[in-house]
Chain A
Amino acid sequence: MATLTLREKLAILSDAAKYDASCASSGSAKRDSLKSGGIGSTEGMGICHSYAPDGRCISLLKILLTNFCIYDCSYCINRSSSNVRRARFSVDDVVRLTMDFYRRNYIEGLFLSSGVIRSPDETMGEMVEVARRLRLEEKFGGYIHLKTIPECSAELIERAGLYADRLSINIELPTDEGVKKLAPEKKPETIRLSMAKLRAKIEEKAEPTLRTKTRERFAPGGQSTQMIVGADKTSDDGILKTSARLYSSYQLRRVYYSAFSPIPDSSSALPSQKPPLMREHRLYQADWLMRFYGFGQGEILQGTIDGMLDLAIDPKLAWALRNRGQFPVDVNRASREMLLRVPGLGTKVVDRILQTRRHRRLRLEDVGRLAKSIAKLRPFIIAEGWSPGGMTDKAALRQTIVRSCEQLALF
């Protein structure tokens, strides 16, 4: 094989990484370079330095160390049977690219993943070496996310956590059956165990040490995972059930949903169609309901026939329409928990309502000024001088709201 230039390698190994959903650079410890005199900082909130025309944020240099891989997961462009062009970065290449991009303010840091070559430990060892060199030799203070390989040794995970902000292990698909079918060499049992070990390590390191009473640094941005949506037949209810299990079991910061995207030279076991982007979007909304709105997983799709999220309306509105008996809610009296269940009221708006109503009673117009749109929430609230009357129970309510919200729709 002819030697590839750095640019050619970058083209191949960023193309290979683009099916990965996560690009977050948030949630780590605060850090800057004032003391070290180096380069790089993280300040809690991540920064998106650019946006690709697919609407996705470009925050990190998201690349694979190599796209050679011994696994043959049918949904993956880099599976061993795929005819995609292959390349491999040296540790040097990745360190140089990261620093060159970071100095020009193109990125927040590095998200390094890799195909598995030869052995999990060998691949993971090189990824850890990239992180080590960035931190120790380049005095790099930016964000580092390492995708860890489930089968690698505990010692490598320990070292990875020392340098990285976030570690992640992909669950791949929502069910073990799906993994067995589409990624026959991957072991769901091993993936669970790796997540459990990572959680144990993060908790262990969060405790101050006996001797120095300080906390050792270990993946301050926690762990996350990703699952592919639409490659197998799992329903949204099944997907959310898996998420609820993962959040509660392994203290994940995030579960990413990645709409299965057709890949060139794809396996015939898979759907050849445009990725289900709206479904992905609705899953994220439902995920938010579980994490920030006090919804139990089982509630979100309770009462639906097929366990699928409504693509035309957001999951909270769909839930409210199925549970009209709980509405209307009085914005001047209701609890925070109940206000959070009103369609169209986000967490911030609810907090503003609670703050403002200590000083004056809210009218419908006031709520309208705080929220984005009044059309969606009007039938579900009572305010000073406003009652929805029979509106809440009208059979055509769904249609009415959908029509008035259409102009605001995301797609």
Chain B
Amino acid sequence: MQTMQLAFSPFNVALASETDFAGWRNAARKLALNDIAPQAVTWVVDASAAKEEETLPEAPEKAHLDVPRSFVSRAEAVICHSDPERFALLYRLLWRLRREPKLLEIASDPDVRRFEAMEKAVGRDMHKMRAFVRFRRIETSNGEHFVAWFEPSHFIVERNATFFVRRFTGMCWTILTPYASASWNGETLSIGPGAAKADAPAEDAAEELWQTYFQNIFNPARLKVQAMQKEMPKKYWRNLPEAALIPDLIAGADEAAREMIARMPTQPASHHTKAQALHWQVPDAHAENDDGNYHSLDAVREAAKGCRRCPLWRDATQTVFGDGPPDAEVMFVGEQPGDQEDIAGKAFVGPAGKVFDAILDDAGIDRQKTYVTNAVKHFKFEPRGKRRIHSKPNTSEVQACRWWLDKELALAKPRLVVALGATAALSLLGKSIAITKMRGEVVEREDGLRVFLTIHPSFILRIPDEAEKQAERGRFLNDMRAVKRLMS
């Protein structure tokens, strides 16, 4: 067979090592540029033959070979695979890439699939090495040194060594494997020849603690042996100090789980009564004496924290109550808190609040001297992925929350209330109002309270056209100037 194959393979490439990417690349480049088909090439790893005089034809002058950049870096990974066919596969792909530059994007192609499978296998092996290397500590004349024995499935030691350097920079370590070793002395990384298991230390005092941890973090009620073996195949077990415990843990799991379930509840532990008495005897502050008669805004605010008058509390973070001096002359009423307000617990601090603040400033109104609140005090929204989309409170929610707004009005006694938007107007006047038609007007309620009607500042934010947005901002500023005049 061998001679037959050689007869069809006039080009025999010897590589210096199993991971000799530079050698492969150099040869593959010359072969491809000389138009030598993959069937005519055989690849072997033979360090002594690789040193001999190069027998391949030189690439024609000025000839160049273009491959996707990703092919080179991915091929560097694939060359670490243990399959002897990998060199030929890589050359076949290179050969085909000349005519089919998009080849690597065709995931259903058998060569591409094999290439991907090898790349994945190398990646997985590297990942498992990062996971399952176990260092043992020894004392040397230069201080402590950590040594590990590991058996990878592919030729990954060189490729993986830098990971261990990045992670264990501050210690001296050596990883021994059957085909190569990597060593770090705190300053330089060196790659050496393979070793035997007996070359690594046989024990480490810390392993007893590690086994204790392994044993106790396992929950016998959740036994799932297949899931464990899928991620930690048995071939790794012989070098994992904790794996020796696995058979006994599995064998005893059912018994242990049954015992967990069967063990009947017993008398409370002796310290329990003491802990209860010491920490949990303070009565709930605002559960008591809540007759609905509050004598200050602070008391209402406190009571509103636990509000359950409508279901909106369920999804919101907190009640966002109004804020401002108790003797404020003007009270602004918005619709409901938004995402930012719900998180901060303060009204008008989000994007609409910023617009509102800026315009108040332009109008010469000091927000600190006004009382700012909302018709509805919990945020109503629809979750959409990582965001919350505002939804409009319905009539019964507005109705339920009017209880709080009425208390705020009764205690703050403002001379003027500004309804920002339709929901605020509904709450304050008890009926739907066409804000766009009545904006700028002052409506006097039966109880004599004057209500100034205007839009909600978030309306400005929603206008896409910049010129229109500025125009609307101007109109809102005029409204605020009118409010300022009404205040004095």
A binds B: yes
Interface residues, chain A, with chain B CB atoms under 8 Å away = 6-7, 10-12, 14-15, 17-19, 32-34, 36-41, 43, 47-58, 61-62, 70, 72, 80-83, 97, 100-101, 103-106, 139, 141, 176, 185, 189, 192-193, 195-196, 199-200, 244-245, 247-249, 251, 259, 261-268, 272-275, 277, 290-291, 296-297, 352-353, 355-356, 358-360, 362, 366, 369-370, 410-411
**B388 near A: Cβ within 8 Å?**
yes
CA distance A277 to B384 in the complex (A): 28
Judging by beta carbons under 8 Å apart, are B227 and A105 in contact? no
- CB neighbours (8 Å) of B98 from chain A are none
Judging by beta carbons under 8 Å apart, are B222 and A56 in contact? yes
CA distance A266 to B253 in the complex (A): 18
Residue among B167, B168, B276 making CB contact with A72, cutoff 8 Å: B276
**B7 near A: Cβ within 8 Å?**
no
Judging by beta carbons under 8 Å apart, are B225 and A53 in contact? yes
Per-position 1/0 for B123-141, Cβ under 8 A of A: 0000100111111110000
CA distance A195 to B268 in the complex (A): 32
Judging by beta carbons under 8 Å apart, are A274 and B221 in contact? yes
For A244, the closest partner residue in chain B by CB is B383
Using a CB-CB cutoff of 8 Å, which residues 212-255 of chain B contact chain A? 212-228, 231-232, 240, 242, 246, 249-250, 253
For B315, the closest partner residue in chain A by CB is A245
- CB neighbours (8 Å) of A38 from chain B are 169-170
Residue among B213, B267, B318, B386 making CB contact with A61, cutoff 8 Å: B213
- CB neighbours (8 Å) of A273 from chain B are 261
- CB neighbours (8 Å) of A41 from chain B are 163, 166-167
Judging by beta carbons under 8 Å apart, are A57 and B231 in contact? yes
Using a CB-CB cutoff of 8 Å, which residues 85-139 of chain B contact chain A? 102, 105-108, 113, 127, 130-137
Least distance between B378 CB and chain A CB atoms (Å): 12
- CB neighbours (8 Å) of A19 from chain B are 219
CA distance A56 to B138 in the complex (A): 31
**B343 near A: Cβ within 8 Å?**
yes
- CB neighbours (8 Å) of A176 from chain B are 314
Given contacts A14-B216, A249-B343, A359-B105, 7 further A-B contacts (CB under 8 A): A103-B168, A193-B317, A249-B315, A249-B317, A296-B384, A355-B107, A358-B105
Judging by beta carbons under 8 Å apart, are B250 and A53 in contact? yes
- CB neighbours (8 Å) of A196 from chain B are 317-318, 342-345
CA distance A12 to B217 in the complex (A): 10
- CB neighbours (8 Å) of B232 from chain A are 50-51
Answer whether A39 and B169 are a contact pair too, CB < 8 Å, given A265-B263, A359-B106, A360-B108.
Answer: yes
Least distance between B281 CB and chain A CB atoms (Å): 11
Residue among A47, A81, A189, A410 making CB contact with B305, cutoff 8 Å: A189
Answer whether A104 and B134 are a contact pair too, CB < 8 Å, given A53-B225, A244-B383.
Answer: yes
CA distance A290 to B386 in the complex (A): 10
Mark the stretch among B32-40, B62-70, B201-209, B449-457 that contacts chain A: B201-209
Judging by beta carbons under 8 Å apart, are A247 and B344 in contact? no
For A349, the closest partner residue in chain B by CB is B107
CB<8 Å pairs between A and B, sample of 26: A14-B216, A19-B219, A39-B168, A43-B166, A52-B228, A53-B218, A53-B225, A54-B222, A70-B278, A80-B271, A81-B272, A82-B269, A104-B210, A105-B133, A106-B210, A196-B342, A245-B383, A247-B385, A248-B385, A249-B383, A274-B261, A291-B385, A296-B384, A355-B105, A358-B102, A360-B106
Answer whether A263 and B260 are a contact pair too, CB < 8 Å, given A7-B208, A52-B217.
Answer: yes
- CB neighbours (8 Å) of A189 from chain B are 305-306, 318
**B387 near A: Cβ within 8 Å?**
yes
CA distance A7 to B215 in the complex (A): 12
Residue among B134, B226, B275, B314 making CB contact with A106, cutoff 8 Å: B134
Answer whether A356 and B271 are a contact pair too, CB < 8 Å, given A55-B228, A101-B210, A248-B383.
Answer: no
- CB neighbours (8 Å) of A15 from chain B are 216-217
CA distance A322 to B482 in the complex (A): 58
Give the tally of cross-chain contacts (CB within 8 A): 254
Judging by beta carbons under 8 Å apart, are A262 and B261 in contact? yes
Judging by beta carbons under 8 Å apart, are A200 and B344 in contact? yes
Residue among A7, A37, A51 making CB contact with B231, cutoff 8 Å: A51
For A81, the closest partner residue in chain B by CB is B268
- CB neighbours (8 Å) of B217 from chain A are 14-15, 17-18, 52, 58, 62
For B381, the closest partner residue in chain A by CB is A248
Answer whether A39 and B209 are a contact pair too, CB < 8 Å, given A55-B225, A72-B276, A358-B105.
Answer: no
Judging by beta carbons under 8 Å apart, are B246 and A72 in contact? no
Using a CB-CB cutoff of 8 Å, which residues 375-399 of chain B contact chain A? 381, 383-388
For B388, the closest partner residue in chain A by CB is A248
**B401 near A: Cβ within 8 Å?**
no
- CB neighbours (8 Å) of A296 from chain B are 384
Q: Which of B131, B263, B269, B387 has the most CB of A within 10 A?
A: B131
**B361 near A: Cβ within 8 Å?**
no
**B279 near A: Cβ within 8 Å?**
yes
For A358, the closest partner residue in chain B by CB is B105
Secondary structure call for the A interface:
loop
Q: Which of A7, A80, A263, A362 has the most CB of B within 10 A?
A: A80
Interface residues, chain B, with chain A CB atoms under 8 Å away = 102, 105-108, 113, 127, 130-137, 146, 148, 163, 165-171, 204, 206, 208-210, 212-228, 231-232, 240, 242, 246, 249-250, 253, 257, 259-261, 263, 265-269, 271-272, 275-276, 278-280, 305-306, 314-315, 317-318, 342-345, 381, 383-388
CA distance A36 to B269 in the complex (A): 48
Judging by beta carbons under 8 Å apart, are B209 and A36 in contact? no
Judging by beta carbons under 8 Å apart, are A266 and B272 in contact? no
Answer whether A18 and B108 are a contact pair too, CB < 8 Å, given A33-B166, A189-B305, A277-B222.
Answer: no
For B229, the closest partner residue in chain A by CB is A51
For A410, the closest partner residue in chain B by CB is B227
Judging by beta carbons under 8 Å apart, are B146 and A7 in contact? no
Least distance between A223 CB and chain B CB atoms (Å): 13
CA distance A116 to B228 in the complex (A): 33
Q: Which of A97, A264, A277 has the most CB of B within 10 A?
A: A264
- CB neighbours (8 Å) of B228 from chain A are 51-55
Judging by beta carbons under 8 Å apart, are A33 and B250 in contact? no
Least distance between B28 CB and chain A CB atoms (Å): 24
Judging by beta carbons under 8 Å apart, are B209 and A100 in contact? yes
- CB neighbours (8 Å) of A245 from chain B are 315, 383
CA distance A273 to B284 in the complex (A): 35
- CB neighbours (8 Å) of A248 from chain B are 381, 383-388
- CB neighbours (8 Å) of A262 from chain B are 221, 257, 260-261
CA distance A261 to B269 in the complex (A): 21
Answer whether A261 and B222 are a contact pair too, CB < 8 Å, given A55-B227, A83-B269, A103-B146.
Answer: yes
Judging by beta carbons under 8 Å apart, are B269 and A356 in contact? no
- CB neighbours (8 Å) of B388 from chain A are 248-249
Residue among A48, A51, A52, A356 making CB contact with B105, cutoff 8 Å: A356
Judging by beta carbons under 8 Å apart, are A54 and B218 in contact? yes
For A270, the closest partner residue in chain B by CB is B265
Judging by beta carbons under 8 Å apart, are B317 and A192 in contact? yes
Judging by beta carbons under 8 Å apart, are A72 and B272 in contact? yes
CA distance A70 to B275 in the complex (A): 6
Judging by beta carbons under 8 Å apart, are A104 and B265 in contact? no
- CB neighbours (8 Å) of A185 from chain B are 279-280
CA distance A51 to B214 in the complex (A): 9
Residue among B136, B165, B214 making CB contact with A50, cutoff 8 Å: B214
CA distance A126 to B263 in the complex (A): 34
For A104, the closest partner residue in chain B by CB is B135
CA distance A97 to B213 in the complex (A): 11
Answer whether A100 and B275 are a contact pair too, CB < 8 Å, given A54-B218, A297-B383.
Answer: no
CA distance A14 to B214 in the complex (A): 9
- CB neighbours (8 Å) of A51 from chain B are 227-228, 231-232
CA distance A79 to B35 in the complex (A): 75
Judging by beta carbons under 8 Å apart, are A39 and B108 in contact? no
For A247, the closest partner residue in chain B by CB is B386
CA distance A141 to B165 in the complex (A): 13
Judging by beta carbons under 8 Å apart, are A34 and B166 in contact? yes
- CB neighbours (8 Å) of A275 from chain B are 221-222
A-B complex: 8 closest residue pairs judged by Cβ atoms:
A55-B227, A55-B224, A248-B383, A81-B268, A32-B166, A33-B169, A366-B108, A54-B222
